[in-house]
Each structure stands twice: as C-alpha cells, then as structure tokens.
Amino acid sequence: MTKNKKNLTPKLPPFANEAREGLLIVTMGAQADIEDEEGKRIHCHVRKNADPIITGDRIYWLPEQDGTGTIIGHAPRKSLLSRLENSQKQKLVAANIDAIIIVTAPFPPLSVEKIDRYLIAAENLNIPCIILLNKADLLDPQNKESIKTALEIYEKIGYPVLYSSTYTPDGLTNLQHYLDDKTCVLVGASGVGKSSIIAKLTSGENIKIGDLSHSTQLGKHTTTSTRLYHLTKGGHLIDSPGVREFGIGQLDKSQILQGFKEFKPYLKQCKFRDCYHQTEPGCAIKQAASDKKISEERLQSYYKILNDR
C-alpha cells in the first residue's frame, strides 16, 4: 500500500491539452479498456513512457483512426491502493477509491488476523473501511455466536459491520445503500463470494464465479484482471486478484499500531517511550486489555502481526 505523492500527482506530456478524459475500467499490461465521457467503451494502448495507470484512474487519451485510443497519462488521484510483491516492489491495485470493503464469510472460516491486516492498510492510507460478512445464510448454531462476537469487537471500535447473502431476496439491500455513489474495492480471501456479490449488483456484466470446493470450502478465485464494475443502483465496485492480501512487512511498529486505532488513547501512557506493548513493565496497552477497555483478541492479533511481518 502507498500514499506516495509522486504516484498521486502525474507528469503529462506537452500535448496533453489535446487529450480527452475517460475512466479506466480494466488494465491488461500495456492495454486497457476505458469509458469516454459519454460512457462508450474504447480499447486503448498505453503510451510508452507514460506514468503507470491502474483501474479507477481518470485518464487522458487520444483517439486513433482505427477507433482505438492511446492513453497518455492520468489525472491526479485522491487515493491509491497498492501491494508489496515478493520482489519488494509496489504493485498498483486501484485508484480513487472511497472505501475498502473487507469481505469475509462463515466459510472459509473468519480470520481476525486477516481482517486486522486489511485494517492496518486502510488506516495507513486514511481510507474508510467496512467489514462485510457475506454468505450470512450459512450461519448456524455452531458458528453464529462466535462469529457475531468477533464482529462485535469491530463495531465497538467504530467500523461498520454489514451482513449479506446472494441467496436471499433482500440479502444485499444494506450493502447497496452503503455503495450509493461510491467507488469501493472488495478485498478478502478466495471463496468468500466477492464475484457473486458483483454479479448480483450489476446488470449483464460478465463475471466468472469460482466454485466452492466441497472438500475444502475454498473457492477457485476467477478474477484475472483488476476491473471496475458499474452497479445497477449506483456506485462502482473494483475487484482484483491483487487485493487478496496486503503485504505490510515494510511497515514499522508505529504504522502497524495505526491499524489498531482503539489503542491510540493509551500509547502515550506507557512507562517507556519505545514500548512494544509485549513484555515491558508499565505498559498502558496491556493494562487496558486487562481492564477490558480494549480487546484481548485484538492485542494478540497485534502481537502476531508484528512478529510475523
């Protein structure tokens, strides 16, 4: 993830004043599909040496005689999502998003640590975040209470928590209300139903949906390119294979703590300024957990993420 000003404010060639504006819908290497200002879909090539572009960008393009276009750059971005690859390079994921929607489900089993990793990324980018429990129809007496208890922790912190299902008539109503006039990116593990959500909220857009393996309850993730979808009742969703995981190994302790915003009131109360909130005496964070002012589960998640990054 990044909030690099260089990536938010682009360089444009001298002939940019001749260009038209558009919205980048999907990228495929040096090619992309855009929508012009009238909503027409146009296939484009990306100009060599142009600044990197990504789905969600407002772009500048020049029309070609064969009906295609050439993208020459992008407009300033209000936000930019990226992930760290194994090579330690930042890979762009999506631009100009209003919120990150963390999608989880009863199956695959809900992972608090995974949710917390997404929250760390969102908080460091200052992008609003909600948690969506999809496949709520799969809640049963064996898992219902434990899942609701886990999600209540986030509600108490201040994160909106929504429940959804693509198999019930009103299963996406609350999500639809939230998405009105927003551009949001879906994140979550394979198999939680992101593609099914998009298919239900769009009209006629081609979405491949992976089957859920009967033996493992894990989905076959079928998204191959980062793509923006227009929603029937307003708003946009971005789905990408690049947002299943956020690498946060490059973040320091203070940046990781930023993802645990309920810790903030206690950070300056620790006895030691460089407290890691683990074994140090006089730790206000540990005391707050002992006094049940913050969640012990979240504190343990912080330890694990800090040690595993």
217 pLDDT higher than 90: no
| Close Cβ partners of 224 (under 8 Å, ≥ 6 residues apart) | 241
| Paired sense of beta strands 227-230 and 236-239, if any | antiparallel
Between 219 and 132, name the one with better pLDDT. Answer: 132
CA distance 146 to 144: 6
DSSP the chain: ----HHHHS----GGGGGPEEEEEEEEETTEEEEEETTS-EEEEEEPTTPPP--TT-EEEEEE-TTS-EEEEEEPPPS-EEEEE-TTS-EEEEEES-SEEEEEE-SSSPP-HHHHHHHHHHHHHHT--EEEEE--GGG--TTTHHHHHHHHHHHHHHT--EEE--SSSTTTTHHHHHHHTT-EEEEE--TTS-HHHHHHHHSSS-----PPBPTTT--B-----S-EEEE-TTS-EEEE-GGGS----TT--HHHHHHT-GGGGGGGGGSSSTT--SSS-TT-HHHHHHHTTSS-HHHHHHHHHHHHH-
167 pLDDT higher than 80: yes
Lowest-pLDDT choice from 46-50, 64-68, 213-217, 229-233: 213-217
CA distance 80 to 6: 11
CA distance 294 to 81: 29
**Torsion sign, CA atoms 188, 240, 204, 182:** positive
CA distance 24 to 44: 10
CA distance 81 to 100: 10
Find out whether 163 and 137 touch, Cβ atoms under 8 Å: no
Say which CATH topology domain 80-207+221-245 has: Rossmann fold (3.40.50)
pLDDT score for 213:
34
pLDDT score for 12:
65
Could you give the count of Cα atoms lying within 13 Å of 199 in the half-sphere of its Cβ? 14
Span 212-220, average pLDDT: 36
Say which CATH topology domain 253-308 has: Ribonucleotide Reductase Protein R1; domain 1 (1.10.40)
pLDDT score for 216:
32
Tokens of 43: 């296939």
Which residues in the chain are classed under CATH 2.40.50.140? Answer: 20-74
Q: Which residue has the tokens 């928590």?
A: 161
pLDDT score for 243:
59
Lowest-pLDDT choice from 171-175, 220-224, 237-241: 220-224
Q: Is 257 exposed, middle or buried (0-12, 13-18, 19+ CB in 10 A)?
A: buried
Mean of pLDDT over the chain: 87
Distance linking the first and last C-alpha atoms of the chain: 14
CATH of region 20-74, choose from 3.40.1010.10, 2.30.30.100, 2.40.50.140, 2.102.10.10: 2.40.50.140
225 pLDDT band, cuts 50/70/90, is confident
218 pLDDT higher than 60: no
Between 138 and 9, name the one with better pLDDT. Answer: 138
pLDDT score for 224:
63
pLDDT score for 83:
75
Which residues in the chain are classed under CATH 3.40.50.300? Answer: 80-207+221-245
- Tell me the pLDDT tens digit for each residue of 37-96: 999 999 999 999 999 999 999 999 999 999 999 999 999 999 998 876 665 677 888 999
Which residues in the chain are classed under CATH 1.10.40.50? Answer: 253-308
